[in-house]
Structure 1
Amino acid sequence: MKKAKKIKHSLYLIVALAMLVYALPLISFSGGWSWTSAFGVAWALFAFLVIGAHLHYLLGVDEEKQKTLDRIKAEKLRQWQLKWPEEKQRSQEHM
C-alpha cells in the first residue's frame, strides 16, 4: 500500500515538473505586466506548490512526525495503564 502511494506521488511529481518545464518558456514578460503574464505567474506558483507538496510526501517528512506522535501516544497509554490499578484500588477502598 505504501509503495503504491509513493509511485502515485512520484508520477504526479513528474507530470507537474513536465508541465512546468513546458510552460515556463512560453510565459512572456516582454510586453510588461498583462493579464496573460499574471496568469502565467500564478499558474507557475501553483505548479511549484504542487511539486513541493509531492516532494514533502516523498521525502518522508510526515513519517518522522508520525513516529514521534506514535511514541508519545504509546507512552501516554503506558502511563494510563500503570495508573489503572491505583484508581481501581482507591475506588474499592471508598466502598
Structure 2
Amino acid sequence: MMRQSKWKNVIYMLIALAMLIYALPMISFKPGAGWVSVFGMVWAAFAFLIIGAHLHFLLGVDAEKQRALDQIRKAKLMDWQRKWAGEKKESQGL
C-alpha cells in the first residue's frame, strides 16, 4: 500500500502528464514561430523534468541508494571499531 506522500506524487505526475498531452499538439515547433516556439520547447522540457522527478521518486531509486549507503556506513563503522579495538589493545601493551 502506498503512503500518502506517494499518492501525492502520483497525482502531481498525472496532472503534469495530462497538461503535457493537452499542450503538445498546440505548441508550434515551426522555425518561423520565434519566441512562441522557444517558450513551448522550454515549457515542455520542464514538464518532462517534473514527470521524470516524480517517476524517480515513485520507482524507489532513492530507497536503493539509501540501502547501499547504509551498507557502506555499517562497513565503515565496523572497520573503525576494529581499528579502535586494535589501538586500545596496543596502548594496553597486549
TM range (shorter): 0.7 to 0.9
Q: 1:6 corresponds to which residue?
A: 6
Map residues 9-48 of structure 1 onto 2, 5 A cutoff.
9-29=9-29, 32-48=32-48
Q: TM-score when scaled to structure 2?
A: 0.84
Shift of 1:31: 7.1
In structure 2, do the counterparts of structure 1 residues 31 and 70 end up closer, same or farther at CA, with 3 Å as the change threshold? closer
* CA–CA distance in structure 1, aligned partners of residues 71 and 36 of structure 2: 50
Q: Distance in 1 between matches of 2:32 and 2:59?
A: 38
Alignment-derived partner of residue 52 in structure 1: 52
CA distance in 2, matches of 1:4, 1:73: 29
Instruction: Please tell me the residue identity of whatever aligns with 1:39.
Output: F
Q: Which moved more, 1:35-44 or 1:2-11?
A: 2-11
Alpha carbon RMSD of aligned pairs, Å?
Answer: 1.8
Equivalence map 1:75-86=2 (5 Å) = 75-86=75-86
- TM-score norm. by structure 1 comes to 0.83
Distance 1:75 1:30 in 2: 56
SS at match of 2:79: helix
Q: Distance in 1 between matches of 2:16 and 2:76?
A: 42
Q: Which stretches in structure 2 are left out of the alignment for 5+ residues? A: none
Report the count of equivalent residues. Answer: 92
> Gaps (5+ residues) in structure 1?
none
Distance 1:26 1:38 in 2: 13
